[in-house]
Amino acid sequence: MRINITSVLVDDQAKALAFYTEKLGFIKKTDVPAGAARWLTVVSPADPEGVELLLEPDGHPAAGPFKSALAADGIPFTQFAVDDVHAEVERLKGLGVEFTQEATDLGPVVTAVLDDTCGNLIQIAAMK
């Protein structure tokens, strides 16, 4: 068994695709109609055959309270790896991305937390 898909619950798939590709730099992998929504995934250009991120609609009534409760406490929904957190924070801020946590040295790891504009906080991290 291996992990091929992981999901992030987004409020608007088109907006999410724009953010995850144009800002974060992922590449669209799969985009097929699935009822009222799309089966919409992105991958990292560093690993195009690797794990896909599914931009999944957050229409279930439990999703809203869950997402807002995490965001209020600043808790990221998932984490992506970068080579240099400080450089990535600067790059993304230049693109207008908002952060709830600046690049922070936590000993073995440097992390920061950004707003994906689709209702989620995302942590970026680099192990030292």
Task: Look up residue 121 and give its two tokens.
Answer: 């906080």
Closest CB to other proteins among residues 30, 68: 68
Task: Look up residue 82 and give its two tokens.
Answer: 């970068």
Closest CB to other proteins among residues 41, 123: 123
Minimum distance, C-beta of residue 9 to other proteins, in the bound complex (Å)? 14
What whole-number distance in Å separates Cα of residue 104 and Cα of residue 59? 33
Task: Look up residue 45 and give its two tokens.
Answer: 């250009």
Task: Look up residue 61 and give its two tokens.
Answer: 């009534």
Closest CB to other proteins among residues 11, 44: 11
Minimum distance, C-beta of residue 108 to other proteins, in the bound complex (Å)? 7
Minimum distance, C-beta of residue 37 to other proteins, in the bound complex (Å)? 23
Closest CB to other proteins among residues 43, 71: 71
Minimum distance, C-beta of residue 1 to other proteins, in the bound complex (Å)? 30
Instruction: Let me know how long the chain is.
Output: 128
SS3 at position 61: coil
What contacts 6, CB < 8 A, 6 or more positions away? 51, 52, 53, 54, 78
Q: Under the rule (CB under 8 A), what is the footprint of other proteins?
A: 68, 71-76, 100-102, 104, 106-109, 111, 113, 121
